[in-house]
Amino acid sequence: MEETPLASLSLTHVHYNPNDPLSFASAWLALIPQALCVVYATLIWSSREAEVMFMFAGQMGCEALNFVLKRIVKEERPKQMLGKGYGMPSSHAQFMAFFAVYLGLFLLCRHTTASSQSPTAIPFVMRVCITFAVCVAATSVAISRIYLNYHTQRQVLAGLGAGIVCALTWYLITGYLRMYGWVDWALDLTVSKFFRIRDLVVSEDLNEAGWQRWEEKQKLKRRGDSKHLATKSD
């Protein structure tokens, strides 16, 4: 009996030149969008933050737009690449452009406007460094798609442009929802309270806020221990 030939899961299957270190590095860069999806899921489950959910919803909307655009344009990938599917625009470039631009806008604009009232907000220098690092990562992923011959320069530039437009549009939409109280309304719903959805990350660095609460708890514990020892010595 003839065996059915095995298929390859293209989601994580990346072609690269094993004799080229840059090609090997580019193959790993191609996995960053998948890794970020894991980060999204982890943050949503652990933090229950509304802003993270907003960003992930916009990210998925950006991916849906890429799916539609590829089937409208129907431009093939470079001839050197044996992979399947259309190449215009690059989904990797579009994904990373959205992530970098939206996160940068959040850190430098939305978080800044609310952080002046909170001592636990992320410091401005750190926000700038994070934004710069994410932009470098997005650029590296985009270049890697050209280096691996998965996309042409035009396809990557189109993906970057689409991702930037999606990020700007979604940032304005979420800003509108915040300005006119729709976010507060949604957070007051029973289902939001059941899942403990909150909106603290806009004005707080959750790691720093959590650390300060831990420090306060430890101080109270040390005071209690010292009082207990004093009472015991009497």
Residues 7-63: pLDDT tens digits?
A: 655 666 778 788 888 888 888 888 889 999 999 999 889 888 888 999 999 999 999
Q: Is 144 exposed, middle or buried (0-12, 13-18, 19+ CB in 10 A)?
A: buried
| Whether residue 199 is found in the same domain as residue 210 | no
Cα distance between residue 164 and residue 186, in whole Å? 27
Q: Report how far apart, in Å, the C-alpha atoms of 127 and of each of 72, 102, 112, 130, 139 are.
A: 38, 13, 9, 5, 18
| Whether residue 125 is found in the same domain as residue 213 | no
pLDDT score for 195: 87
In a domain, 5, yes or no: no
**Rounded (5°) CA angle 206-211-215:** 150
Q: In 3D, which of 93, 114, 64 has the Cα closest to residue 163?
A: 93
| Whether residue 146 is found in the same domain as residue 219 | no
Cα distance between residue 96 and residue 194, in whole Å? 32
In a domain, 131, yes or no: yes
| Whether residue 193 is found in the same domain as residue 115 | yes
Q: In the predicted model, what is the mean pLDDT of residues 174-196?
A: 89
pLDDT score for 213: 72
In a domain, 1, yes or no: no
**Rounded (5°) CA angle 146-151-154:** 90
pLDDT score for 222: 73
Sequence-distant (≥ 6) Cβ neighbours of residue 33 within 8 angstroms: 91, 92, 95, 96, 141
Q: In the predicted model, what is the mean pLDDT of residues 213-225?
A: 73
Domain carrying residue 58:
21-203
What is the count of structural domains for the chain?
2
| Whether residue 83 is found in the same domain as residue 156 | yes
Q: Is the pLDDT of residue 127 over 80?
A: yes
